[in-house]
Amino acid sequence: MRQLVVIIIFILLIPITFAINDPALAIQRSANFYSDYTDFFNTPPNNVIYKNLPYDNSEAYQLFLAYVSGEDIDEIHSISNPSKTFSTNKDCTVFTSDIILASKKIQQYVDKNNKFPLAIKINDCYISNSDFLYLLATMIRSEFENGNYQDSYLVQKKYFESTIKWVSNVKKRYVQFTMDYESDRPIFSERYTYDKEIVTKNVSSIGVNPKMVERRCVGKYCTIPKDYDQTNYTSSEVAWYTAVKEEGNIIFPDCYPYCGVLNGTSIILDDFVYRYGFPMVWHMTGGSIVAIATKPELQNKIINFKTEGLLELGIHTMYHTNIGDVSRDFIDESINNNVQVFIKLLNDKPTQFRAPYLSLPQKDFYLEPLKKNDIHFDNEADKYNLCPSNNCNYMGIPEYDLYFVSIDWKNEPDDVLLNIYLSHPWEVLYEAEGKPTYLKKSDEAAKKVFKKWMHLVGEDGLVPSSVKNYMENQLK
Residue 67 has pLDDT above 80, yes or no: yes
397 by DSSP, 3-state: which?
strand
**pLDDT of res. 12:** 27
Environment class of 474 (CB within 10 Å of its CB; exposed 0-12, middle 13-18, buried 19+) = middle
381 pLDDT band (50/70/90 cuts)?
very low
Which of 12-16, 139-143, 171-175 has maximum average pLDDT?
139-143
The residue among 18 and 237 whose pLDDT is bigger is: 237
Mean pLDDT of the chain: 79
**Minimum mean pLDDT among 74-83, 184-193, 225-234: which range?**
184-193
Q: How far apart are CA 37 and CA 77, in angstroms?
A: 22
Cβ atoms 127, 91 nearer than 8 A: no
Cβ neighbours for 410, distance < 8 A, ≥ 6 positions apart: none
386 pLDDT band (50/70/90 cuts)?
very low
Residue 148 has pLDDT above 50, yes or no: yes
**Minimum mean pLDDT among 36-40, 122-126, 208-212, 213-217: which range?**
208-212
Residue 364 has pLDDT above 60, yes or no: yes
Q: How far apart are CA 127 and CA 289, in angstroms?
A: 50
Question: How large is the average pLDDT for residues 120-144?
Answer: 92
**pLDDT of res. 20:** 40
Which of 222-226, 371-375, 410-414, 470-474 has maximum average pLDDT?
222-226
pLDDT tens-digit map of 42-55: 888 888 999 888 89
**Minimum mean pLDDT among 314-328, 359-373, 385-399, 441-455: which range?**
385-399
Give the CA count within 13 Å in the CB-facing half-sphere of 339.
17
13 pLDDT band (50/70/90 cuts)?
very low
**pLDDT of res. 130:** 87
Question: How large is the average pLDDT for residues 373-398?
Answer: 56
The residue among 243 and 399 whose pLDDT is bigger is: 243
| Strand partners of residue 207 | 192, 242
**pLDDT of res. 383:** 45
Percent of the chain with pLDDT over 70: 76
Question: How large is the average pLDDT for residues 75-103?
Answer: 84
CATH code of domain 174-475 = 3.20.20.370
Cβ atoms 414, 252 nearer than 8 A: no
Q: Give, in degrees to the nearest 5, the angle at Cα 225 between 300 and 296.
A: 15
Q: How far apart are CA 427 and CA 288, in angstroms?
A: 15
Q: How far apart are CA 458 and CA 466, in angstroms?
A: 20
Listed by start position, the domains of the chain span: 2-169, 174-475
Residue 5 has pLDDT above 50, yes or no: no
pLDDT tens-digit map of 405-456: 666 656 666 777 777 777 788 888 887 777 666 677 788 888 888 887 776 5
